[in-house]
């Protein structure tokens, strides 16, 4: 999911330190040729990448990025001739070697404005093995006055040879209070808290969502899962309904629900901590044990990771639901 560009959002206060270091590096003539932004999901790594592109391409170097000049506005619109953007194509979750080769060829050309050429690769952890190897060639022999910015939530998925050639910046998730203050300023008074409860501390993800719909889907998911424990929900019908309505969001809410029960079980709650062969108690109200909960969390995460892969998710969901039912 692409984040909104700098021109249409308030500054992200939690990136102030990173922005100050980048601006100082530019003034000192020490801006790196390759930058890796390691972001917590939804914390603004891509936003910072385009802010950095504005910094490098701004027409007023002493106050860069000014946000007012034609170059800053073009970057904000993602339409600057010296700004190159690399992202997965619509039919794929990966960045392919052909795209990286085109990026390298474009970066090797003289810039239109006589200054920097900037390439933004997001998400960089979407580079497949061949694309990563092709990008390494550009990193090893970078053209003059080029800046390559990689944005990744999982840098460990990138080859060590790429990581070693990039200066790293980390964008951590803001506190809940900071997220709520920023979201209210950017999006008005809405149920941001319940949305963050489901989405995690990811303010830009929350801003790009409908918080009312997020909260409603999460509440419905929790009620449905509790109904499975009580034996009052139909696994087949629910699986069919979920595959047609907000499945990624419902899977996230399901993972949160399971994780909450693991925590409660580990802190003296009513969940069984011992490792038993069966998922439930032999009588009375069913109580999931810790081992089964961890298995279910793994299954949900695997489903979330394969949402772009053609498979029968209804069957997988129904199997998961039947393990919740008594």
CB 171 within 8 A of CB 45: yes
Least Cα distance to 33 among 133, 117, 89, 115 occurs for 117
- In the chain, DSSP assigns E strands to 34-39, 83-86, 117-121, 146-152, 167-171
Residue keyed to tokens 């939804």: 42
pLDDT, mean of each 10-residue run, the chain (326 residues) = 52 95 94 96 95 95 91 94 92 88 92 91 93 93 93 94 95 96 95 94 94 94 93 93 91 91 63 43 52 88 80 87 83
**Burial bucket for residue 300 (CB in 10 Å: 0-12, 13-18, 19+):** buried
Edge-to-edge order in the sheet of strand 117-121: 83-86, 117-121, 146-152, 34-39, 167-171
As a whole number of angstroms, the distance between CA 24 and CA 36 comes to: 17
Three-state SS letters, 41-89: CCCCHHHHHHHHHHHHHCCCHHHCCCCCCHHHHHHHCCCCCCEEEECCC
Residues forming a β-bridge with 150: 36, 121
pLDDT for the residue 263:
83
For residues 187 and 73, what is the distance between their CA atoms, to the nearest angstrom? 21
Residue 214 to residue 227: CA distance in whole angstroms: 20
Q: What is the pLDDT of residue 8?
A: 53
| Residues 135/20, Cβ–Cβ less than 8 Å | no
Three-state SS for 213?
Answer: helix
DSSP label at 307?
A: T
Instruction: Calculate the alpha carbon distances from 183 to 10, 151, 186, 187 in Å.
Output: 9, 22, 5, 6
Q: How many residues would you count in the chain?
A: 326
Q: Are 314 and 239 in contact (CB under 8 A)?
A: yes
Q: Taking the complete model, does pTM exceed 0.85, yes or no?
A: no
DSSP 289: B
């Amino acid at each position: 999911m692409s984040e909104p560009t700098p021109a249409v959002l308030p500054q992200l206060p939690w990136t102030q330190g990173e922005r100050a270091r980048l601006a100082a590096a530019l003034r000192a003539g020490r801006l790196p040729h390759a930058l890796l932004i390691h972001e917590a999901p939804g914390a603004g790594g891509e936003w910072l990448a385009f802010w950095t592109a504005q910094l490098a391409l701004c027409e007023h170097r002493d106050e860069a990025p000014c946000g007012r000049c034609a170059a800053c506005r073009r970057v904000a619109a993602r339409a600057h001739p010296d700004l190159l953007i690399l992202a997965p194509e619509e039919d794929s979750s990966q960045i392919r070697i052909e795209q990286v080769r085109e990026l390298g060829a474009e970066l090797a050309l003289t810039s239109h404005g006589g200054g920097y050429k900037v390439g933004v690769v997001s998400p960089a952890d979407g580079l497949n093995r061949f694309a990563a190897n092709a990008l390494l060639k550009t990193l090893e022999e970078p053209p003059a006055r080029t800046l390559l910015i990689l944005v990744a939530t999982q840098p460990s998925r990138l080859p060590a040879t790429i990581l070693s050639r990039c200066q790293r910046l980390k964008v951590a998730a803001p506190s809940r209070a900071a997220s709520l203050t920023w979201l209210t300023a950017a999006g008005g008074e809405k149920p941001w808290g319940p949305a963050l409860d489901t989405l995690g501390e990811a303010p830009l993800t929350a801003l790009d969502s409908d918080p009312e719909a997020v909260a409603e889907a999460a509440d419905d998911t929790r009620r449905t899962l509790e109904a499975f424990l009580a034996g009052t929900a139909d696994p087949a019908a629910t699986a069919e309904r979920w595959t047609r309505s907000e499945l990624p969001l419902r899977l996230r809410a399901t993972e949160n629900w399971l994780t909450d029960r693991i925590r409660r079980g580990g802190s003296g709650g009513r969940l069984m901590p011992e490792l038993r062969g069966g998922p439930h108690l032999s009588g009375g109200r069913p109580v999931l044990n810790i081992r089964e909960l961890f298995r279910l969390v793994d299954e949900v995460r695997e489903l979330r990771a394969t949402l772009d892969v053609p498979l029968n998710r209804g069957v997988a969901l129904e199997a998961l639901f039947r393990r919740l039912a008594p």
